A = this chain, B = another copy of it.
Amino acid sequence: MKILQGAALVGQSGGPTAAINATLSGVIRGALENAGAITKLYGMKNGIEGFLEERLVDLSGLFHNADGQIDMDKLELLCQTPAAALGSCRKKLPNPQEDKAFFENLIQLFQKYDIHYFFYIGGNDSMDTVAKLTAYLQDAEYDMCVMGVPKTIDNDLAGTDHTPGFGSAAKYIAATVSEIIRDCAVYTVPAVTIVEIMGRDAGWLTASAGLPTLTGRPAPDYIYLPEVPFSIDAFLEDVRRALARHPNVVIAVSEGVRDKEGHYAGESAQSGVTDAFGHRYLSGTGKALEMAVKEKIGCKVRSVELNISQRCGAHIQSAVDIQESIGVGKSAVEAAVAGKTGCMMAMERAEGEYTISFVPKEISGIANAVRSVPRDMIIPEGNNVTDTCLTYIFPLIQGECTQKYVDGLPAHLIIE
């Protein structure tokens, strides 16, 4: 395949993470270091949605300093900035067979800016975008390398050992839950604390709450993932058993747990709740379980929703995750310049000592597949994860980043 010459376009899509900008910095560095092929790098604001409105940022200009050198300080600052610095979108592309006009319009825009490289950083929906664009380009008379670059805190993308962004979220969760456990340990009155963790369908993030046990440190008494049907009665039984052992019970639960009929815990526990305006009120999973414990057990109970901080808590990034996030972005560019297209840059783990290699994989087999926690990584009782699960996650939270603080707060790079 011939080596293309032209501009490159990079975008970010889907939910924010603490590492998606590290991946962007990898793409930027890769592009700037391959100036022979990539003549200019554009960033699309708010993903493909912003590109359609021609909202572009000249990243080549932004990340070169006055001497014409790559601005490494700015790249580092980008790495420690949480959430998508270019903005994001949730736009799903139409099917190429059904809406050719949409893609013809896209191609015209690519031509207008001489764009021949397309890098899209995101999760499942973003890989769908990459797959559709790839499919369309197969029959189109336009040469362009299209590469998907994975990111998602949920760790649910197929075709890769794990996803960039997951490690930092897992580190935030394990550290925060460890702190919550210390907080809960100070009183002697029996009390239950329920920590609700993100993950609608995949339980990887919630599983991370168990990491301290691997090194003999306190961890939640029970961990409930969406991969196993949730029973409120079994849950209450678990809580009673834990309270019999010690006064300070801590539970980690995925927001996505559902009973065997598929009802979320927040639904079933509160089916009769209406608000002042007569609307049905749907609480979060943690709050619903809190109310169930209060009603059925009657002890002191509270719920803590880790909420969006678990995906944007960049001040406690995992160094391994950030290095890999940069690497997956940079290697995607290098693979594209070497002629690859229609791929997602995946990570492969070697046997034995933890090492990762970056491997381009055909996008068609990856998009729209979801990778859940396998049943054998959950204990038979369904209320905790196995050591195999934790051993898999463990390397991904290792190492701390030296963050730059300005006036007492982490410094962020804002791209206007």
Contacts and interface: CB of A to CB of B under 8 A. Distances in A.
A286 to B, nearest CB: 10
Nearest to A314: B179
Interface string A179-196: 110110111100000000
Nearest to A400: B405
A412 interface: yes
Contacts of A212: 409
Interface in A67-119: 81-84, 87-90
Copies in the complex: 2
A282 to B, nearest CB: 11
Given A305-B305, A314-B179, A409-B217, A185 B83 contact: yes
A187 B83 contact: no
A298 interface: no
A274 B276 contact: no
Interface in A301-322: 304-309, 311-316, 318
A381 interface: no
A307 B304 contact: yes
Contact of A305 (B307, B314, B403): B307
Contacts of A398: 407-408
Contacts of A179: 82-83, 309, 312-315, 410
Which of A12, A174, A407, A408 has its CB near the most chain B CB atoms (within 10 A)? Answer: A408
Given A176-B313, A272-B276, A281-B273, A16 B186 contact: yes
A204 to B, nearest CB: 16
Contacts of A16: 182-183, 186
Nearest to A20: B186
A301 to B, nearest CB: 13
A400 B404 CA distance: 10
Contact of A275 (B82, B214, B272): B272
Given A81-B182, A179-B313, A273-B274, A408 B318 contact: yes
27 contacts: A50-B188, A82-B179, A82-B182, A89-B188, A171-B408, A175-B409, A176-B313, A179-B309, A179-B313, A179-B315, A180-B312, A182-B312, A211-B409, A217-B412, A271-B276, A272-B275, A272-B276, A273-B281, A274-B274, A277-B295, A304-B305, A304-B308, A304-B309, A305-B307, A315-B316, A394-B407, A399-B408
The 8 residue pairs across chains A and B that have the minimum distance between CB atoms: A272-B276, A183-B312, A397-B408, A88-B186, A83-B182, A179-B312, A83-B183, A398-B408
Interface of A: 12, 16, 46, 49-50, 81-84, 87-90, 171, 174-176, 178-180, 182-183, 185-188, 211-212, 214-215, 217-218, 269-277, 281, 291, 295, 304-309, 311-316, 318, 394, 397-400, 403, 405-410, 412, 414
